[in-house]
Amino acid sequence: MAVPPESIESSSAPPPDRDAEPTGLVVLVEPGDRIHFLDWGWSGTPTADGVLLVHGLSSTAWSWTPVARRVRARVHTVAMDLRGHGLSDAPTAGFDPPTLAADVVAVAEGSSLLGWPGGPAAPDRVVLAGHGFGAIVAAWAAETLGDRCAALVMVDGGFENFRESTGLEPDEFLRGLDEPPEILASMEAFLADRRGFDPVTWDADQERAARATVVETAAGRVVPTTRPHVLEACVRAMFEYDPVEVLSRVEASIVLLVGPENEEGSRGPALDRLIAKLAAAGRPAPLVSKFPMDGHNLMRYRPAEVTAAILGTG
């Protein structure tokens, strides 16, 4: 069932807590890799299952800040750095679906969003929300968690088979991710490019999120913090993802927030195919809301609506 953005916006999303600052923590996973996360905590008494936020490709936990500032008003909120991103370790292996899913579960348990066998009392379920590639990782984690996942919120990602919708192979897709040299010429040029996506929504939180994705060199240029081997491994995993196969095994309710159509006009048909195939498999239809006039980063452009969608799952 599709729901227009106005219906989500009419839900009462809390205002952002501008004074809130998260605590940075790490959890150790086998064989000793550190996965970093931002614990935003909560204000007052949590009213529903806690929320774990998973960022997209080449991004970090800071991309979720506009949403985290709102969601924490109702529930315990945590945003993680995927392995190879942000302040998490970047090993040469571990970018396969089971390992990425296990990282999410480890953060959920390590942050006390979820309890674990033999551990202290903690909630039994968690809401997973992912953006872009993070929606795919969240889907793998939701499948792993089974009934321990209360809901899966997929923000402009996770509903496409990339080979079908793009007609590309991973190597071709990777070449399209390269930043123009002039954008990486300086931090000023890089931030100006990111600000230019939508000057109205640019603020200190957006600048911090942008800065977290690059490192300034001694020569004044900037380079992405996501290393080439990480980017390649994640893209290859993304191209192996079959949304019907994975989502048909997810026990939790699914919410899809879909951004603009691509140049090929393939995203709409991909969504229709997914819904039809899930119905044929006897799975409940996901709740779908479309934002055709906004960019991919709906956390930046539609934070209240994303928040309302997440809190509406509880």
For residue 256, what pLDDT is reported?
A: 97
Q: Is 199 a domain residue?
A: no
For residue 2, what pLDDT is reported?
A: 43
Q: Is 115 a domain residue?
A: yes
Judge whether residue 11 has pLDDT over 80: no
Q: Please confirm whether the linkage preceding 5 is cis (ω < 30° from 0).
A: no
Give dist(CA 19, CA 75) in Å, integer: 17
Q: In the chain, what percentage of residues exceed pLDDT 90?
A: 86
Confidence of residue 8 (pLDDT cuts 50, 70, 90): low
Q: Are strands 287-290 and 253-258 parallel, antiparallel or unpaired?
A: parallel
Q: Are strands 77-80 and 126-131 parallel, antiparallel or unpaired?
A: unpaired
For residue 297, what pLDDT is reported?
A: 97
pLDDT digits (tens, 9 = 90+) for 203-224: 999 999 999 999 999 999 999 9
The alpha carbon of residue 271 and the mean position of all alpha carbons in its chain are separated, in whole angstroms, by 18
For residue 38, what pLDDT is reported?
A: 98
- Token digits of residue 240: 């192996």
Judge whether residue 109 has pLDDT over 80: yes
For the beta carbon of residue 93, count every other beta carbon within 10 angstroms: 11
The region of weakest confidence among 6-15, 88-97, 160-169, 185-194 is 6-15
For residue 3, what pLDDT is reported?
A: 46
Q: Is 210 a domain residue?
A: no
Q: Is 217 a domain residue?
A: no
- Mean pLDDT for the stretch of residues 32-39: 97
- Mean pLDDT for the stretch of residues 187-204: 97
Give dist(CA 309, CA 7) in Å, integer: 10
For residue 307, what pLDDT is reported?
A: 97
Give dist(CA 298, CA 310) in Å, integer: 13
Within the chain, residue ranges assigned H as helices are 5-9, 65-71, 97-110, 133-145, 162-166, 170-175, 187-196, 204-211, 228-240, 243-247, 267-280, 298-301, 303-311
The type of residue at 81 is D
- 272: domain CATH number is 3.40.50.1820
Domain count, the chain: 1
What is each CA distance from 54 to 83, 141, 149, 239, 268, in whole angstroms?
11, 11, 14, 18, 24
- Mean pLDDT for the stretch of residues 168-182: 95
pLDDT digits (tens, 9 = 90+) for 265-311: 889 999 999 999 999 989 999 999 999 999 999 999 999 999 999 99
Residue 308's SS3 state is: helix
Q: Are strands 149-155 and 50-54 parallel, antiparallel or unpaired?
A: unpaired
For the beta carbon of residue 293, count every other beta carbon within 10 angstroms: 9
- Token digits of residue 222: 């900037």
Mean pLDDT of the chain: 93
pLDDT digits (tens, 9 = 90+) for 116-174: 766 666 789 999 999 999 999 999 999 999 999 999 999 999 999 999 888 899 999 99
Give dist(CA 129, CA 61) in Å, integer: 12
Q: Is 211 a domain residue?
A: no
Instruction: Return the bridge partners of 289, or none.
Output: 257
> Distance between terminal CA atoms of the chain?
18
Judge whether residue 314 has pLDDT over 70: no
Range of the domain at 52: 5-173+227-311
For residue 263, what pLDDT is reported?
A: 81
Contact 250, 148 (CB under 8 A): no
Q: Is 192 a domain residue?
A: no
For the chain, how are helix, strand and coil distributed in percent, rounded to 5?
Answer: 40, 20, 45
For residue 130, what pLDDT is reported?
A: 98
Q: Is 152 a domain residue?
A: yes
Q: Is 116 a domain residue?
A: yes
